[in-house]
Amino acid sequence: MDKKIIIIGSGLGALASGLLLSRKGYKVEFVEKNNQAGGRLNQIKKDGFTFDTGPSFFSMSFVFKDFIEKCGLDIPFKFVELDPLYSVNFRDSNHTYHLNKDIKKLAKQFEDIEPDFEKNMEKYLKKSKQLFEDTFDIVIKNNFNSIFDYVFQLMHVNPVHIPQLFNSFYSHVQKHFSSKEAQQVISLVAFFLGRTPFDTMAIYSLLSHTEFRHDGYYNVEGGMYNIVNGLVGELEKNGAVFNYNSEIVKVEEERGKVKKVIDKEGKEYSGDVFLINADAALFRGRVLNREKYSEKKLSKMEWTMGYLTFYVGIKGKLPQLDLHNYFIGNNFEEYAKDVMHKPDTLQKPYFYVNNVSKYNPECAPVGCESLFFVCPVPNLQYKNNWDDADDIVNSILEDFSKRINQNIIPNIITKTVYTPKDWEEKFNLYQGSGLGLSHKLMQIGGLRPRNFDEEFSNMFYVGASTLPGAGLPMAVISGELAAERILKYLK
């Protein structure tokens, strides 16, 4: 049990693996490029305000519960269920939809434009439930040793779902709802996978089941970063060591095993096992110089979109906002088809606003709000120059003020902007792609970069670009899958 596991990066996947391994008695040491843990799940504290930097949705709480149970602990943060889940406002419309989990209540909001909403939604959710139940354990919660193993496992999935691999999320939703508004509101969840409902497979409509039926969304008390605080606290109790401001750029091996990793300043870390939480494709390409992940090959892979995010503290309260708020336009199809590739969409951007201080007053001074804006944008492959970021941010702030009938611009106390360039630099995200490799058919399951190294028997991977994919619950599952491999290796 005196074996030492060096973990490179301290994103959620890394923290989850680290906690499981330290609870089994192994020594765990993190090496993180930034000055605090969490990766994309991070925090800015500025001018009396507290902002979550990336994730703002806490969903699939059952994944956290299962994970923490495996660690033999209680969940080290508090969370409270939300109703409504979120709100959606269309441009030039006074109507804001509040997405209630109670389908009767939700249907009432659509009664003028889609009288059969309740029946349609029930049918849609029934299908989403089947998709969830028939795929979650087999495809999402599984390690695959080879492509053959993956194909073999897929044979256990009910073949009735095969068409959902080839239909788009949007076309699937269109089959269930007649009004454009319902189609657009229900398919928004596809954006959570970093692409659009038009290029996300219909199979991911299982997310609607997790939103409305299986679980829902939660407010994490004190903000999302308390997930990181809680996990780091438990890790430290178990003796884990955290090294910050240390970026690994080199790996030294001996007879097929990694002996040590070395950071930019020449500091060395030796261990028995190495777990990589840096992007699983990028690390293999740029640090290990693997031909399969050369710059040319990386550029040919399909990456998720970028995000322009900004964090604004204002004087005054905004009671008209929910915790999660979408502000979308009235050209959904055109916008969604262009947003990944064409900077033109930024003339009338869609955006999301998280009002964290609504339920977490400690995140803003008294009488103030702490707002976090996310605007989906082309990643650096399609828009490399972000000199216009402030103009885009100002146009969103103006649009937002109009749509909530309250001008927040004169009341701004603090503002911080992250463009995809910042996301790339801070967290080593390829071309500033917010969620890593996309989830197209050829990049999921056993076809994603593996969570074990092709050459070094003691090197493993965890995080968004390996199994199973992007999002906080997936990071936790990724942590479990990597820990399972490491435990087998160390046996």
Q: Give the x-and-dash track for 367-386 against ligand FAD (CB under 6 A).
A: -------x------------
Tokens of 327: 């502000």
Q: Which residue's CB is nearer to ligand FAD, number 20 or number 435? A: 435
> How many other CB atoms are found less than 10 A from the CB of residue 54?
24
What CA–CA distance (Å, rounded) separates 229 from 281? 28
Q: Does 471 bind ligand FAD (CB under 6 A)?
A: yes
Q: Does 355 bind ligand FAD (CB under 6 A)?
A: no
Q: Which residue's CB is nearer to ligand FAD, number 309 or number 325? A: 309
Please identify, among the stretches 168-176, 291-299, 427-435, 439-447, the one whose residues bind ligand FAD according to the rule CB under 6 A: 427-435
Q: Which of residues 56-85 bind ligand FAD (CB under 6 A)?
A: 56-57
Q: Which residue's CB is nearer to ligand FAD, number 107 or number 346? A: 346
Q: Which residue's CB is nearer to ligand FAD, number 202 or number 429? A: 429
CA distances from 481 to 75, 92, 145, 460, 477 (A): 19, 46, 12, 10, 6
489 burial type by CB count under 10 A (0-12 exposed, 13-18 middle, 19+ buried): middle
Q: How far is the CB of 176 from ligand FAD (least distance, A)?
A: 25
Q: Which residue's CB is nearer to ligand FAD, number 76 or number 306? A: 306
Question: Which of 6, 27, 39, 258 forms a contact with ligand FAD (CB under 6 A)?
Answer: 39
CA distances from 22 to 34, 269, 351, 472, 485 (A): 22, 18, 40, 21, 15
Q: Which residue's CB is nearer to ligand FAD, number 96 or number 354? A: 354
Q: List, in sequence order, the alpha helices (H) in 383-471.
A: 389-403, 420-427
Q: Which residue's CB is nearer to ligand FAD, number 117 or number 427? A: 427
Q: How far is the CB of 299 from ligand FAD (least distance, A)?
A: 19
- Cα pseudo-dihedral 230, 232, 235, 241, rounded to 10: -170
Q: Which of residues 290-319 bind ligand FAD (CB under 6 A)?
A: 307, 309
Secondary structure of 267-298 as H, E, C letters = CEEECCEEEECCCHHHHHHHHCCCHHHCHHHH
What CA–CA distance (Å, rounded) separates 229 from 219? 15
CA distances from 296 to 75, 165, 291, 491 (A): 43, 28, 9, 38
Q: What are phi and psi of 441, to 5 degrees?
A: -50, -40
Q: Give the x-and-dash track for 212-251 against ligand FAD (CB under 6 A).
A: -----------------------------------xx---
Q: How far is the CB of 55 from ligand FAD (least distance, A)?
A: 3
Contact 474, 229 (CB under 8 A): no
Positions touching ligand FAD (CB under 6 A) are 8-14, 31-34, 39-41, 54-57, 247-248, 277-278, 307, 309, 374, 427-428, 434-435, 463-464, 470-472, 475
